[in-house]
Amino acid sequence: MNKAFFLFSIFALLGLGCTRNFQEEIPMPDPPHNPFDDIEYPNNENPTPPVDSNTFLGLHTYVFSKSCNLPGCHDGTFEPDFRTVQSAYNSLVYHPIVKNYPTGPLAYRVSPGDTSQSMMWHRINRHNPPNFERMPSSGNKLTPQVLQKIGAWIMGGAKDIYGQGPSQTSLQPTCYGVVGVLPNQGDFRVDTARGPVFYNPFMTPADEDLTLWFLYLDVTPAGDSTLGNFLTYNKIKFSTNPVDFSNAIELNMELTLIPDFFDSVFSQPAGFPLPHYQKVTINPAALGFLPGQVVYFRTYVKDSDHSAPTEIPENESQIPLQTYFAFIAL
């Protein structure tokens, strides 16, 4: 027993020795060369370029945040809010005025492109007590150089910190219906001849003059509603393809000084007469439309708050609205 244990111990020690010798003989590979180890990085930091004082970021950094963002004033206590560059821009450009002139009121604190219509420009240049003292309220007038930069920013379009012009916040014009009458038949209404569904195309004689009247409403950024007589551009297109007006017939609509009144919204009784200012008179056959054809039409009007005209309806409009603005020539 002792002899067997002794022999087992001898072989175990020999095995461990062989294993250790075998492990020690395995060479470890050298790590690959790291090319980034050869780069010498400078310890100094890149200098921060100064903010351009001609931009709104510069105006806020050097002027508004220092001269206007004062305790108990435009630090969030009163608008405009000059605490941050974002709050300053949003509470200035196209922003309605709280304390306005009793006569000849202005529309916005900053009207891009027009210092004469910008209340902020009035407040930093004019001293009309009471209630309209020159700003800043500290009594330290802004220097002519600073005023020149603010005026140039307004006249340049009041661009934001990214150099983009302000986006319009008002709604686009909306059309609340069309009235179709036959002027040679005593203004007989045909836009109500739509069958059981009010948004079906209405029916009208192909070789008979047809006058279309339109009811428009618009909303300004200040939330005021205006009628169609303030709209411009005023064009209409006709097409037999409901989604393709690229080759459509285009005509000018007439903007009347005195509207015609119709008790109608989307060809349904409204309960009271509403003013329709835009109209156009056509003869479907004279335009080349044949009996049995469905003729779709779209109107184009523009308000003062948008640079491009509004298309009504448009390709993205729901199908009932597209079929409502259509007629079938008989």
The verdict on 325 and 203 lying in the same domain is: yes
- As a whole number, mean pLDDT of residues 222-247 equals 91
d(CA 231, CA 70): 42
Domain boundary among 95, 126, 155: 155
Domain boundary among 128, 155, 182: 155
Domain boundary among 103, 126, 155: 155
Angle at 170 between CA 164 and CA 172, to 5 degrees: 105
Among 263, 283, 290, which residue's Cα sits nearest to residue 274? 263
pLDDT one-digit tens code per residue, 26-63: 677 888 888 777 877 777 666 677 888 899 999 999 99
The verdict on 244 and 298 lying in the same domain is: yes
The verdict on 150 and 187 lying in the same domain is: no
d(CA 31, CA 24): 19
Residue 240 located in a structural domain? yes
The verdict on 288 and 197 lying in the same domain is: yes
Whether the per-residue pLDDT at 301 is higher than 80: the answer is yes
- As a whole number, mean pLDDT of residues 249-271 equals 93
Residue 22 located in a structural domain? no
> Which structure tokens are listed for 210?
């047809």
The verdict on 182 and 288 lying in the same domain is: yes
The verdict on 193 and 301 lying in the same domain is: yes
Residue 123 located in a structural domain? yes
Q: Which residue has the higher pLDDT, 264 or 21?
A: 264
Whether the per-residue pLDDT at 276 is higher than 60: the answer is yes
The verdict on 149 and 68 lying in the same domain is: yes
**CATH of residue 313:** 2.60.40
What is the pLDDT, as a whole number, of residue 139? 77
What is the pLDDT, as a whole number, of residue 95? 85
Least confident of 105-114, 178-187, 253-262: 105-114
The verdict on 198 and 308 lying in the same domain is: yes
pTM of the model: 0.55
Which range of residues forms the domain containing residue 247? 174-329
Q: How far is CA 29 from CA 32, 37, 160, 296, in A?
A: 9, 19, 59, 80
What is the pLDDT, as a whole number, of residue 36? 76
Residue 217 located in a structural domain? yes
The verdict on 61 and 186 lying in the same domain is: no
Whether the per-residue pLDDT at 254 is higher than 70: the answer is yes
Q: Which residues of the chain form beta strands (DSSP E)? A: 174-182, 188-189, 202-204, 210-219, 225-227, 232-239, 249-252, 254-262, 274-282, 294-302, 310-312, 326-329
The verdict on 230 and 195 lying in the same domain is: yes
* Domains identified in the chain, total number: 2
What is the pLDDT, as a whole number, of residue 94? 86
The verdict on 115 and 198 lying in the same domain is: no
Residue 18 located in a structural domain? no
- Residue 228's pLDDT band, with cuts at 50, 70 and 90, is very high
- Residue 175's pLDDT band, with cuts at 50, 70 and 90, is very high
Residue 312 located in a structural domain? yes
Q: Is 233 helix (H, G, I), strand (E, B) or coil?
A: strand
Whether the per-residue pLDDT at 9 is higher than 60: the answer is no
The verdict on 136 and 208 lying in the same domain is: no
The whole-chain average pLDDT of the chain stands at 87
Residue 73 located in a structural domain? yes
Phi, psi (degrees; rounded to nearest 5) at 37: -70, -20
- As a whole number, mean pLDDT of residues 319-329 equals 94
Residue 20 located in a structural domain? no
